[in-house]
Amino acid sequence: MPSPRPALGLLHPEGIEVSSNSRCPHRRRAALVSGPPPNPKEATHTMTQTLTFTPEELLSSEPVAEPLIANGVRCHGGFDADGLYRSPRTLCRLPAIQAWQAQLSDQGSPLIEIPRNLMPPQYPSAVQAKLLLENGVREPVVRALTIISIVEGFGAMIRDVEAPELRKLFVEPIDGTGLDHLTGGLFEAHARDESGYRDEGGHKQMWEAARDAGLENPKVPGDVLMRLMGRRGRGGAQQPAFPEIGPELERMLGFMANVLVVEVFAEGTFQWGIDVLSDPEISAAPEVAGGMVRNIQADEKPHVDYLRTALSEVSARTIRTVDDKTISGKTVVDGLLHRILSQMTRNRPGDQREDLREGLAQAISVATNPGALQEEFDALELPWTPPETTGFEPAANGA
């Protein structure tokens, strides 16, 4: 966490006047280190105060010396006096997440980690994407980049998640946890990061800018959104995995677990974007376009971190069931993560491949020698088999 700079004379990313009084109180972190209680059942009022933040604090940004302008659109975040990119809305959000994670650690509760070997590879691979671009075949890569920007924009849906009254649903207190701040700034900050806020662009606009800078304002296929929506609608409604916790809580936890997995798997997408758009052989603006993806990548860290913190806090607690019994939070969180990870590792590679190959032959037809290019493209295909276990199996965890 860089040291706060004086607000005077500096631009604030959201155009909001931030006085020194409303800045994130760092003294709270110091108070935390002095010794939180050993488990959630012993939470005290004193500790609650050290770990409690207002929505305004969680949404506050560090003033920046230079705004981020992407493709003529003012975006969130910006650059400090040293030219380093500063993610938006992290002035208090980062120390808050660190404090909640430290609390979990002090309580002896583990922080959920999604195994990276579960992350399916991007299709087409960076090498395949470069091969297409080198041969003048742009449509599949433009489509892939456009899908990423659209999916980023969908992130705004997180602010519409209906959260039940969580205090009533857990046996142990939730004061001073990330869980208690989900609708008090965390979901909103996440939504603004992904899809922009007011006249300020977010990740959707930043990916579009990276695409347009790197590939020189390419023609974007008109059916990207339609095909994407068609694919998303195919899954149908899922049966509840834990009817005993009630549909509202399961929907919220399921949504969070799903977004966490998507965010973790996106790390591969970011690396792919950087590899492709930073390559001077095929990118018209390797520094601008690659740098833009790196900025987005930096903004994603708090998303992964607050979600896994809040889900870990659920795991460390006991949930009251609708029939006045209880169930371990770990059983529920592991069960939801296992279901999502099993589905995504099984379906995502095939979906991505099918989506791309649907129009690949036609796209390749613009190449000088389409047959040879298709062969070369296929020869670069790397088979991927998902690991047999997710690490969240009920049996593996003794739940």
Q: Which positions touch Fe ion (CB under 5 A)? A: 152, 194, 203, 263, 300, 303
Where do we find the tokens 């020194």?
Answer: 20
Q: What's the DSSP call for residue 284?
A: S
CB of 194 to Fe ion, least distance (A): 5
Q: In angstroms, rounded to a whole number, what is the distance separating the alpha carbons of residues 269 and 227? A: 19
Query: With respect to Fe ion, which residue has the nearer C-beta, 57 or 300?
Result: 300
CB of 170 to Fe ion, least distance (A): 26
Query: With respect to Fe ion, which residue has the nearer C-beta, 62 or 263?
Result: 263
Q: In angstroms, rounded to a whole number, what is the distance separating the alpha carbons of residues 227 and 26? A: 47
Q: Residue 318 forms beta bridges with which residues?
A: 328
CB of 274 to Fe ion, least distance (A): 14
Query: With respect to Fe ion, which residue has the nearer C-beta, 200 or 263?
Result: 263
Helix (H, G, I), strand (E, B) or coil at 278: coil
Query: With respect to Fe ion, which residue has the nearer C-beta, 272 or 377?
Result: 272
CB of 300 to Fe ion, least distance (A): 5
Query: With respect to Fe ion, which residue has the nearer C-beta, 152 or 334?
Result: 152
Q: In angstroms, rounded to a whole number, what is the distance separating the alpha carbons of residues 372 and 351? A: 25
Query: With respect to Fe ion, which residue has the nearer C-beta, 10 or 298?
Result: 298
Task: Give the chain's length.
Answer: 399
Contact 301/384 with Cβ under 8 angstroms? Answer: no
Contact 45/83 with Cβ under 8 angstroms? Answer: no
CB of 34 to Fe ion, least distance (A): 33
Q: What's the DSSP call for residue 239?
A: P
CB of 9 to Fe ion, least distance (A): 30
Q: In angstroms, rounded to a whole number, what is the distance separating the alpha carbons of residues 246 and 162? A: 13
Other Cβ atoms less than 10 A from the Cβ of 7: the count is 16
Other Cβ atoms less than 10 A from the Cβ of 391: the count is 17
Q: How many angstroms separate the Cα of 290 from the Cα of each of 6, 273, 293, 310, 391?
A: 30, 7, 5, 32, 34
Q: What's the DSSP call for residue 69?
A: E
Query: With respect to Fe ion, which residue has the nearer C-beta, 203 or 211?
Result: 203
CB of 134 to Fe ion, least distance (A): 28
Q: In angstroms, rounded to a whole number, what is the distance separating the alpha carbons of residues 255 and 130? A: 34
CB of 223 to Fe ion, least distance (A): 23
In the Cβ-directed half-sphere of 156, how many Cα atoms lie within 13 Å?
13
The token duo for 149 is 């920007």
Other Cβ atoms less than 10 A from the Cβ of 4: the count is 14
CB of 87 to Fe ion, least distance (A): 11
